[in-house]
């Protein structure tokens, strides 16, 4: 972070003053309401692609649960409903294209996915920083955001003289629109078209994952997802990785996702030869970001802004996630697994990187480690703004009160309180 970073205090979280763009977004989506049903989503995807084969129908109950759960969120705004609709249709479109692509290239299912490096950790626990470092190594294969949005190229995605990568161009425009609508979002979740995306974007092809929980308050879906065996969903994501390797070249995959913290046993079964890296940090450092992000985006995603919504959801959700991590951590093979404390990652980054490469059985030189670190340092220097968090003002809760339910996590891992 730049030493001269400007401090940003979003002082209208509880009583937002809408920008003209935010008002326009709410007005436009209210005028064009969407129909949140399975048939509407699948019909829109068929119309967009001219395809009809979605593959195994096992995803349909999950799609039904998505739609019912979102319909039950009475405080979701017209913009929020449209956002879920677009995500669902995009997932259905991408699934149709994936199934069609594999049908035309059956050799895809023989593509090896060998010894990936899988990073787990709550948001803001260092996972993005770590992926950015490792992603600088050309030996690794990662999922870029432009690729996550459109995994399989469509008919209009062929390179041209003026646009060598229409999928990337479209993703960049998409992110610029997000930045325009919610300009402080990047302070909590820095992103770009070339950013390494989470493999959760591949799980939504099978209409699963906890991603829907970031779009709406959906207790029905949360309970359904937590009760369902996620192994088939992770295997479907692996199938998508095979197709992506076929399109853009193989390599040793880098994966990361917060929900992996509650799916460690699933990861072990679906990727038995993986190197597992689990990032640990004071939950409050992550929670305050998640809650502020939820409250900030509520100005367009919710009909009524209510701090009780993120406060009532994310601390309990994080506790479920970290309790599952504590429960299942020792089921991972010791010789393939590394726990990384946030203070170690930031205090001695080089040592953490070397240990990951040792576990992954990959040679790495001091020059390579230095180049990775310097690349990230340059990225950090570009950050000129820093968000100020005020938990008691915005949520009426102290850091100590938020931390209290996580004593079990601090007892299991050498995590240091930060906030």
Residue 95 lies in a domain: no
Write the pLDDT tens digit of every residue in 38-90. Answer: 999 999 999 999 999 999 999 999 999 999 999 999 999 999 999 999 999 99
Residue 23 lies in a domain: no
User: Span 92-102, mean pLDDT?
Assistant: 98
Closest alpha carbon to 315 in 198, 188, 400: 400
Tokens of 242: 């095979």
Instruction: Flag whether pLDDT at 382 surpasses 70.
Output: no
User: Span 118-137, mean pLDDT?
Assistant: 92
Residue 183 lies in a domain: yes
Residue 75 lies in a domain: no
For residue 135, give the 3-state DSSP assignment.
Answer: helix
Closest alpha carbon to 214 in 121, 343, 80, 325: 80
User: What Cα–Cα distance (Å) separates residue 74 from each residue in 22, 68, 84, 209?
Assistant: 20, 12, 14, 22
**Boundaries of domain holding 321:** 6-17+115-152+166-412
20-31 vs 283-301: helix crossing angle, rounded to 10: 60
Residue 160 lies in a domain: no
* pLDDT bracket for residue 203 (50, 70, 90): very high
User: Span 9-15, mean pLDDT?
Assistant: 95
User: Span 274-286, mean pLDDT?
Assistant: 97
Residue 119 lies in a domain: yes
CB-CB contact of 394 with 14 (8 Å): yes
Looking at residue 66, what is its pLDDT?
Answer: 98
CATH (domain of 223):
3.40.50.300
For residue 154, give the 3-state DSSP assignment.
Answer: coil
Instruction: Flag whether pLDDT at 4 surpasses 80.
Output: no
Averaged pLDDT score across all residues of the chain: 94
User: Span 276-288, mean pLDDT?
Assistant: 96
pTM: 0.95
CB-CB contact of 99 with 53 (8 Å): yes
Structurally, the chain folds into a number of domains equal to: 1
Looking at residue 373, what is its pLDDT?
Answer: 83
Looking at residue 381, what is its pLDDT?
Answer: 56
Report strand pairing: 275-280 vs 117-120.
parallel
Looking at residue 150, what is its pLDDT?
Answer: 96
Rounded Cα distance, 325 and 334, in Å: 15
Write the pLDDT tens digit of every residue in 192-201. Answer: 889 899 999 9
* pLDDT bracket for residue 374 (50, 70, 90): confident
């Amino acid at each position: 972070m730049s030493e001269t970073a400007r401090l940003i205090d979003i002082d209208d979280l509880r009583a937002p003053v809408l920008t003209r763009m935010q008002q326009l977004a709410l007005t436009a989506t209210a005028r064009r309401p969407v129909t949140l049903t399975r048939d509407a989503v699948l019909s829109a995807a068929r119309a967009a692609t001219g395809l009809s084969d979605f593959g195994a129908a096992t995803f349909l109950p999950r799609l039904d649960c998505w739609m019912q759960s979102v319909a039950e969120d009475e405080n979701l705004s017209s913009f929020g409903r449209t956002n879920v609709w677009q995500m669902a249709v995009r997932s259905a479109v991408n699934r149709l294209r994936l199934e069609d692509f594999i049908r035309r290239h059956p050799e895809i299912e023989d593509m090896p996915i060998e010894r990936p490096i899988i990073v787990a950790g709550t948001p803001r626990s260092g996972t993005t920083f770590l992926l950015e470092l490792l992603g600088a190594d050309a030996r690794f294969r990662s999922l870029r955001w432009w690729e996550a949005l459109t995994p399989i190229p469509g008919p209009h995605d062929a390179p041209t003289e003026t646009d060598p990568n229409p999928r990337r161009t479209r993703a960049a425009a998409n992110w610029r629109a997000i930045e325009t609508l919610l300009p402080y979002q990047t302070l909590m979740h820095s992103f770009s078209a070339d950013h390494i995306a989470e493999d959760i974007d591949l799980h939504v092809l099978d209409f699963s994952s906890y991603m829907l929980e970031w779009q709406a308050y959906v207790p029905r879906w949360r309970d359904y997802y937590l009760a369902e065996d996620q192994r088939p969903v992770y295997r479907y994501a692996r199938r998508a990785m095979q197709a992506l390797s076929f399109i853009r070249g193989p390599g040793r995959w880098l994966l990361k996702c917060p929900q992996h913290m509650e799916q460690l046993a699933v990861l072990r079964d679906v990727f038995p030869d993986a190197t597992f890296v689990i990032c640990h940090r004071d939950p409050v450092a992550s929670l305050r970001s998640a809650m502020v992000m939820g409250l900030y985006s509520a100005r367009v995603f919710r009909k009524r802004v209510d701090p009780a919504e993120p406060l009532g959801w994310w601390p309990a959700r994080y506790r479920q996630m970290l309790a599952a991590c504590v429960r299942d951590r020792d089921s991972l093979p010791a010789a393939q697994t590394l726990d990384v404390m946030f203070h170690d990652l930031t205090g001695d980054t080089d040592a953490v990187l070397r240990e990951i490469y040792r576990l992954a059985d990959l040679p790495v030189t001091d020059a390579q480690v230095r180049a990775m670190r310097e690349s990230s340092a340059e990225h950090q220097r570009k950050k000129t703004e820093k968000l100020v968090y005020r938990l008691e003002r915005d949520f009426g809760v102290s850091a100590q009160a938020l931390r209290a339910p996580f004593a079990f996590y601090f007892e299991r891992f050498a995590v240091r309180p930060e906030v």
